[in-house]
Amino acid sequence: MDVYWLEQNESDVPAENHWLSPGETRCLTGMRFAKRRTDWRLGRWTAKRALAACLQLPADLPALANIEIRAASSGAPEVFLRNQRAPVTISLSHSAGAAICAVALSATSLGCDLETVEPRIATFAADYFTANEQTLVEQTCAQVRPLLVTLLWSAKESALKALNTGLRLDTNSVEVSLLDASLLPADDSPQPNPASTRAWRSLQVRYSGGQVFSGWWRHANHLVRTVVSAEPPRAPIFLADSPRVILFPLSAHHLPVADRHHSRIRTMPNW
């Protein structure tokens, strides 16, 4: 299975709100705190840009308003195109002024997470990690430990999103295995090319209820990204900012009737 990803920063988000749908504008207006509004806008912007690329839709601001991200009863994001549910699955996360969106062009269990690498309190692993995960942390040198703890936590978050529960479920109910832990780096320089799949490393998350998620992790710019899916995904594919290449054509019957005239290959604008 293919999973696509895009990352954006706060500086990428337009100051105006013309790219939001009426429902999204109402939701934004109801938010009391500035940081919550900023993070929410960043997440919606990142998702819409990713979806416009994947679904071959126009990416100008008025056109992006036709892509609406709604919260399901579980809290998971759902995609609507002109008020019709789109046959795609997305997951969102943000940290330190950046946001990531993972997209699968099918209905699947998908989760992604973005975390800043930083030291955690001494009791963090004991509170949130399984015995096997705590052992892995204890056996890791002090220089690498903040990265490992952040990675394990991020993979748990991704799996809990794929389960549509989030942190309502005990983090000890999911256990992370790093399939290439010997390659765990002490730092993230030099920065890997975002489009390089070689920078992604494999992992697995096992849920105590029996479900197993396969996934990937990546470390760059002091941030860890994780993506997991119930259907084993290939290394995530970066949504390149190209004005001439359409990466992921969607057949016309997958689009709402009003959008079927957009299903042909076209030139995309620069991001």
CATH number for position 174: 3.90.470.20
Q: How far apart are the first and last CA of the chain?
A: 26
Kindly report the length of the chain.
Answer: 271
Residues 175 and 219 in one domain: yes
Instruction: Look at the chain and report how many structural domains it folds into.
Output: 2
Total-model pTM: 0.86
Separation CA 117–CA 77 (nearest Å): 25
Identify whether the C-beta of residue 198 lies closer than 8 Å to the C-beta of residue 234.
no
Q: Collapsing DSSP states into helix, strand and coil, what is residue 94? A: strand
Residues 78 and 119 in one domain: no
Separation CA 147–CA 188 (nearest Å): 10
Residues 250 and 216 in one domain: no
Residues 248 and 141 in one domain: no
Q: Is residue 84 part of a domain?
A: yes
Query: Could you read off the pLDDT of 15-51 as tens digits, one per residue?
Result: 999 999 999 999 999 999 999 999 999 999 999 999 9
pLDDT of residue 187: 56
Residues 157 and 197 in one domain: yes
Domain that holds residue 117: 111-229
Lowest mean pLDDT among 21-35, 93-107, 213-227, 251-265: 251-265
